Chains A and B, each alone.
Chain A
Amino acid sequence: MVKFLSEEWIDIGKKYMLEKLDPVKDLKSITTSLLGVVEHIPPDDITMNFYLELEDGKLKDFIVNTGDTFDEKNAAYEIRGNYGTYKSVLKGEMSLGIAVLKNRLKVKGSKMQALRLIKPLDGVIVSLQKITDEFE
C-alpha cells in the first residue's frame, strides 16, 4: 500500500518513472518543472506540496514538502487544488484537463503552456495512478 504524498510514494514514484517511462516515447523529451499544491489534506486539514522536475524527459527531482510553498526551487508551473481533486485525478476518475478547466485545479503560469504539457505528462500521471493506492 503506497499512500499519496508519503515518503514511500516519492521513492516508488521515482523508481517507477525511471524504470518504466521512456524519456522520448512516453515523456516527449520535455523539460519542465511543476509544483503541485495539495490543500485540505485530512484529517488535520493541512497543506502539502510536491515538486517534480523533468529534463529532456528524464525525472530529475521529485520532492514532497509540508506547506504551500517550496522555496528551494522555482517551478515553471504551480497546480493548486484540494486533496479530493488530486485523489480523483490519481484514481483516474477525472482527467487533468477537466480538472483545470473546471477550476478544480488552478494553474499559475501560462495556461496555454500548461495545457500543452497535459499530453506529455500523461505518462507521469499514469505512473502516479499506478503506484498510489491509499488515501487519507
Chain B
Amino acid sequence: MCLENVLLNKNLKFEEAINIAKKGTHCGMCRIDFLETGLCSAGKKNGFIAYWPQGRMEIVNALNSGKVKPTKKLFEIVESCTFCGICDKQCNFTTQLRPQKVHEALKEYVQNLDQSEFQEIAEDDKLKKLQEIVGEKWATNDPIIIASYRRNIVNPDKELNFYAVMPENSKELSEVIKFANKNNLQYMARGGGTLFAMVSSTVMKNAMGLEDGIIIDLLRMKKLEINPEDLTATVGAGITAFELQKEAYKHGLRANVAEAGAHICANLASTGICTTWGNTYGWASDNYTDVELVDEEGNIFNHGEMEIKNPYSVEHGLTSLKLSPPGILTEAMVKLHPIFEGEEAVLVPFDNLKDALQLALKLAKQDIGLSLAVLSRKYLAEFLSPTPQIAKDFDYIAENYMKLNYVVDVICHKNDKKIVEDMVDFTIDKEMMKTLILGCPKLASLKGSEFLKILSEEENPCKAIFAGPMRNHLEKGLEANPENISKIYDEDLRDFFKKIYSKPQMTDVVWLHAFRIFPSRLMRQRMFIPRGGVMWATEKIITDFHDMLKETGEKYNLENALGYISFLEHGKFAVLEYDYYFDHTDPSISKNVNDAVIESLERTLMMDGIISDLHFYFKGLHRKEHILYPIPKAINDEEQILFRELIGSVLGGE
C-alpha cells in the first residue's frame, strides 16, 4: 500500500500529514534546543536526518511522490519516535506546523504494510568499506535515509543512489575522501543544509547539489570549547550558531553568528558569516584565528601552517563564481567578543528608505552600534509575528496606518544610544519592542479599527504611537503579555507558549539579535531566495541596487522585499539582502524565480561597485580585503555575452 493509495481512500489523516510535510522547508530548527525543551531523542541518538522531524517529513514527501519504496529501516525510524511532542513545540514556534501528525500518519502507514512491500537492499562492498571507516551505524545506502536528504543536499529530481556517512572526526573524514577518490565517487559535505534547501526549488539546484556519490553529514563533529583566556572558541563542524552562542554567553562573551540553525563551520566556509554585527565584528576571515580543513585528496591541514599556499586571496570578476569551498571545514577557532554591561537596543522608524539609509550610513561611518542595520517592514513583521497571518496583518498595518516601512536597528552601548537619540526626533525603545513582540496578535486584530484610522491621520503616526500621546493607549490596548500571545497557538500548546513568552530573553531585543531564533520564520511554510551583494557604501549605489532588485522581483510577479542593509569596514561597504518569496510546493512558479535570479545577477554585474552574492559564496574563509578590493567595475558588453553563455551552461538558463 503506497501513500498515494491511502490518499485515494481519502484518509484525511494522511492527507493532512502530506500537506504538512510539503510545507516543510528544512529550516533545521528542530535540531537545536532553542526553547529549552530538550532535543528529539531519536535524532540525537541516530544522527541521520531521517530520524529528525524535518527528515521524517521529507520521507513522507518521497513516499508520496513514489520516489522511494519502504525499506526495513523505515520501520526502525518510525519506532525511534517516542511521540514526546518536542518537535510540535519547536516547529510551531517557527513555522506553525505540527510534525508529530506526520509521524503519526507515517507510523500508521508502516504498521499496515505487508512484509512483501519492503524493498530489499542489496549487499554493497563500498558500503562495507565506508562502515569500516566510520562504524557500521554511521554509513548507509538505505534509500529511505537517503530520501530524507532530498532538498537539503540532494537535488529532488535525482535518483537516490547515494551513500550517507557521518564521520566523527577529521581523520575519519579524510579516510572517507580517500576512499571516494579511489572509487570515483563524488562527495559533498553538509552542515545545516539550509543553503541548499533555499536553492533546491530554483535553477541553482543542479549547480549546487550533490549529483551522486557520498553525502557527508558533519553533525557528529560536536567539539565545542570556549577559551575565555584568548576570547576564542573551538568549534566542530556539527556545532550550530545557537549552540556556540549559548556557550559563549555563559562566559559573558558573544560570537558573530548567522541564524540560529546555521552550522558555524559551514556558514563560515559558504558566506563568511555575514551579519548585522559585521561593521564591528567583521566578515569572512575576520571571524576566525585558525581553521582545520580536509582537502580533496583527504589531507588534513590548518591555515596556521607555514608551508601552505596563501589561503586568503581570491579571484575577481565575472568568472570568479565558485560552487564549493576550498576544502571541508572540520573545525574553526572563532573569535568571541565581550558583552558590555548595559547594552541597549534602539530602533528608529522611517517611512522611506532614503532617510533610513542616510542615518544608518552616518552611524556606520562613526562606528556607532555593535549591530547596525536598516531592516524592512517585512522583516520586522515576519520576525515578530508568531503566525503568517499575523505577519501579513502587521505588515499591512505598519504600511498603511503607521507609515513604518523601514527601521534603523541598533544594538549598542548605552552611551551610543544617547548619540542616536540626539540625532533623531524619536525612537522605539526596548520596552516598546517588548510590547510589540507580545502584543502583535492584538495589533494585527486592530486592522480596520477606529484607533488605527485616527492614528493614520496623524502627521507622523509613528511618532504619535511610539513617542507621543497615543503610546499609552497602544500599550494598554495591546494587552501585551505572555498569556495573550499564547492564545494564538493550538489549545494543547498554550500553556507551553505562555511559559516560553514569560522568559525574559523572548522579549529581550539584544538577546534576540545575538541568538537569532526569529529569522527562520522567513521560511515558514514557504521559501525565499535571497538576492544581494556587498557594495561600496554610497547612497546612490545602495539605492540603485535596491531598486533594480525590486524591479526584477516585480517583473516576475514575485512577492519581494528588502531584507536588511548592514555595513562593513567602518561603513565603507554595505551588505544588502533582498528577498523573493515563493511557494515551493507550486512548480509553476519556478520559472519566474529562475528568471528573476538570473536577470538580477546579470543586472548586478552590470553595475559599478557591487560584488554579487553569488560571487562571494564559498569565499568565506578568505580575507575580506581580498574579496572587496579592487572595488568591482561593471562588466563590458563582451563579458555580458560570456555571462549569458556561462549561465546557460552552468545554470541551464536561456
> Interface residues, chain A, CB within 8 Å of chain B?
39-40, 42, 45, 82-85, 87-88, 93-98, 101-104, 111-112, 115-116, 118-119, 136
Listed A/B pairs (26) with beta-carbon separation below 8 Å: A40-B181, A40-B184, A42-B184, A45-B182, A82-B184, A83-B184, A84-B183, A84-B185, A85-B186, A88-B186, A88-B211, A96-B649, A98-B206, A98-B207, A98-B650, A101-B322, A101-B650, A102-B323, A102-B324, A103-B322, A103-B323, A104-B186, A104-B324, A111-B315, A116-B642, A118-B646
| Given A93-B211, A96-B649, A111-B315, CB of A101 within 8 Å of CB of B186 | no
Task: Compute how far the CA of A116 lies from the CA of B212 in the bound complex, rounded to whole angstroms.
Answer: 27
Closest to B320 in A: A111
**Chain A residues whose C-beta falls within 8 Å of the C-beta of B211 in the assembled complex:** 88, 93-94
Task: Compute how far the CA of A115 lies from the CA of B183 in the bound complex, rounded to whole angstroms.
Answer: 28
Task: Compute how far the CA of A115 lies from the CA of B639 in the bound complex, rounded to whole angstroms.
Answer: 11
**Chain B residues whose C-beta falls within 8 Å of the C-beta of A93 in the assembled complex:** 211-212
**Chain A residues whose C-beta falls within 8 Å of the C-beta of B650 in the assembled complex:** 95, 97-98, 101
Task: Compute how far the CA of A93 lies from the CA of B158 in the bound complex, rounded to whole angstroms.
Answer: 11
Q: Are A112 and B184 in contact (CB under 8 A)?
A: no
**Chain B residues whose C-beta falls within 8 Å of the C-beta of A111 in the assembled complex:** 315, 319-320
Task: Compute how far the CA of A116 lies from the CA of B319 in the bound complex, rounded to whole angstroms.
Answer: 10
Task: Compute how far the CA of A93 lies from the CA of B324 in the bound complex, rounded to whole angstroms.
Answer: 18
Task: Compute how far the CA of A87 lies from the CA of B183 in the bound complex, rounded to whole angstroms.
Answer: 12
Task: Compute how far the CA of A56 lies from the CA of B232 in the bound complex, rounded to whole angstroms.
Answer: 58
Chain A min CB distance to B19 (Å)? 34
Q: Are A119 and B649 in contact (CB under 8 A)?
A: yes
Closest to B645 in A: A119
Task: Compute how far the CA of A98 lies from the CA of B182 in the bound complex, rounded to whole angstroms.
Answer: 22
How many residues of B are counted as interface, with CB atoms below 8 angstroms from the partner's CB atoms?
27
Task: Compute how far the CA of A96 lies from the CA of B212 in the bound complex, rounded to whole angstroms.
Answer: 16
Is B318 close to A, CB under 8 A?
Answer: yes
**Chain B residues whose C-beta falls within 8 Å of the C-beta of A136 in the assembled complex:** 184
Q: Are A115 and B319 in contact (CB under 8 A)?
A: yes
Task: Compute how far the CA of A136 lies from the CA of B646 in the bound complex, rounded to whole angstroms.
Answer: 31
Task: Compute how far the CA of A111 lies from the CA of B315 in the bound complex, rounded to whole angstroms.
Answer: 9
Q: Are A84 and B319 in contact (CB under 8 A)?
A: no
Lowest 10 A-B CB distances belong to which pairs?
Answer: A84-B184, A97-B649, A97-B650, A101-B323, A102-B323, A103-B324, A112-B319, A40-B181, A83-B184, A119-B645
Is B317 close to A, CB under 8 A?
Answer: yes
Task: Compute how far the CA of A101 lies from the CA of B326 in the bound complex, rounded to whole angstroms.
Answer: 12
| Given A101-B207, A102-B323, CB of A115 within 8 Å of CB of B182 | no
Q: Are B182 and A84 in contact (CB under 8 A)?
A: no
Is B321 close to A, CB under 8 A?
Answer: yes
**Chain B residues whose C-beta falls within 8 Å of the C-beta of A115 in the assembled complex:** 319, 642, 646
Chain B min CB distance to A61 (Å)? 25
Closest to B318 in A: A112
A-B contact count (CB 8 A): 66
Extra inter-chain contacts (16) besides given A101-B322, A103-B322, CB under 8 Å: A40-B184, A42-B182, A42-B184, A83-B184, A94-B211, A95-B650, A96-B649, A97-B646, A102-B207, A102-B323, A104-B324, A111-B320, A112-B317, A112-B318, A115-B319, A119-B645
Task: Compute how far the CA of A83 lies from the CA of B324 in the bound complex, rounded to whole angstroms.
Answer: 19
Chain B min CB distance to A78 (Å)? 16
Task: Compute how far the CA of A112 lies from the CA of B320 in the bound complex, rounded to whole angstroms.
Answer: 8
Q: Which residues of B in the span 176-208 have a Cβ within 8 Å of any Cβ on A?
A: 181-186, 206-207
Task: Compute how far the CA of A39 lies from the CA of B320 in the bound complex, rounded to whole angstroms.
Answer: 25
Chain B min CB distance to A25 (Å)? 16
**Chain B residues whose C-beta falls within 8 Å of the C-beta of A102 in the assembled complex:** 207, 323-324
Closest to A41 in B: B184
**Chain B residues whose C-beta falls within 8 Å of the C-beta of A88 in the assembled complex:** 186, 211-212
Task: Compute how far the CA of A42 lies from the CA of B315 in the bound complex, rounded to whole angstroms.
Answer: 33
Closest to B180 in A: A84
Closest to A119 in B: B645
Task: Compute how far the CA of A101 lies from the CA of B322 in the bound complex, rounded to whole angstroms.
Answer: 5
Closest to A45 in B: B182
Picked from A87, A96, A118, the residue with its CB within 8 Å of the CB of B184 is: A87
**Chain A residues whose C-beta falls within 8 Å of the C-beta of B317 in the assembled complex:** 112
Task: Compute how far the CA of A85 lies from the CA of B185 in the bound complex, rounded to whole angstroms.
Answer: 9
Chain A min CB distance to B202 (Å)? 15
Annotate B126-147 by CB proximity to A: 1 below 8 A, 0 otherwise: 0000000000000000000000
Chain B min CB distance to A113 (Å)? 9
**Chain A residues whose C-beta falls within 8 Å of the C-beta of B183 in the assembled complex:** 42, 84
Chain A min CB distance to B109 (Å)? 33
Closest to A103 in B: B324
**Chain B residues whose C-beta falls within 8 Å of the C-beta of A97 in the assembled complex:** 646, 649-650
**Chain B residues whose C-beta falls within 8 Å of the C-beta of A42 in the assembled complex:** 182-184
Chain A min CB distance to B65 (Å)? 22
Q: Which residues of B in the span 297-326 have a Cβ within 8 Å of any Cβ on A?
A: 315, 317-324, 326
**Chain A residues whose C-beta falls within 8 Å of the C-beta of B645 in the assembled complex:** 118-119
Closest to A135 in B: B184
Chain B min CB distance to A132 (Å)? 15
Task: Compute how far the CA of A131 lies from the CA of B610 in the bound complex, rounded to whole angstroms.
Answer: 44
Chain A min CB distance to B478 (Å)? 51
Q: Which residues of B in the span 320-339 have a Cβ within 8 Å of any Cβ on A?
A: 320-324, 326
Annotate B18-49 by CB proximity to A: 1 below 8 A, 0 otherwise: 00000000000000000000000000000000
Chain A min CB distance to B8 (Å)? 35
Closest to B183 in A: A42
Q: Are A82 and B642 in contact (CB under 8 A)?
A: no
**Chain A residues whose C-beta falls within 8 Å of the C-beta of B646 in the assembled complex:** 97, 115, 118
**Chain A residues whose C-beta falls within 8 Å of the C-beta of B318 in the assembled complex:** 112
**Chain A residues whose C-beta falls within 8 Å of the C-beta of B319 in the assembled complex:** 111-112, 115
| Centre residue among A82, A88, A94 by max chain B CB count within 10 A | A82
Task: Compute how far the CA of A57 lies from the CA of B186 in the bound complex, rounded to whole angstroms.
Answer: 33
Closest to A83 in B: B184
Closest to B650 in A: A97
Closest to A104 in B: B186
Q: Are A84 and B649 in contact (CB under 8 A)?
A: no
Closest to A84 in B: B184
Closest to A114 in B: B319
Chain A min CB distance to B381 (Å)? 36
Q: Are B184 and A101 in contact (CB under 8 A)?
A: no
